[in-house]
């Protein structure tokens, strides 16, 4: 029990889900290693690029039909 120092805090590595040392000695925290940090950064960069490119399309496809559905508007304004 004395082998594990209480001052070391372990967190879950966001990249691999494994234990990561959350301390100043771990330069890649909250990641467990440099590899996991670079993997996560790469994923973020890719996702950010995809999101900014696809969001306008998604908004048009899923958002417009509801607000501009002729049937819905007719049901409300037909007298």
Cα–Cα dist 72/7, whole Å: 62
Helix (H) or strand (E) holding 21: strand 19-22
Q: List the interface residues with Zn ion, window 28-67 (CB under 5 A).
A: 32, 36
Closest separation in Å from C-beta 6 to Zn ion? 23
For position 13 contacting Zn ion by CB under 5 A, the verdict is yes
- Give the binding range for Zn ion (CB under 5 A) out of 6-14, 21-29, 55-63, 70-78: 6-14
Q: HSE of 30 in the Cβ direction (CA atoms, 13 Å)?
A: 11
Under the rule (CB under 5 A), what is the footprint of Zn ion?
13, 15-16, 32, 36
């Amino acid at each position: 029990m004395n082998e594990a120092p209480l001052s070391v805090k372990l967190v879950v590595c966001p990249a691999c889900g494994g234990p990561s040392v959350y301390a100043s000695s771990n330069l890649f925290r909250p990641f467990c290693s440099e590899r996991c940090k670079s993997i996560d950064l790469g994923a973020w960069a890719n996702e950010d690029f995809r999101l900014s490119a696809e969001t306008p399309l998604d908004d048009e496809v899923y958002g417009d039909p509801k607000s501009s559905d002729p049937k819905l508007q007719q049901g409300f304004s037909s007298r």
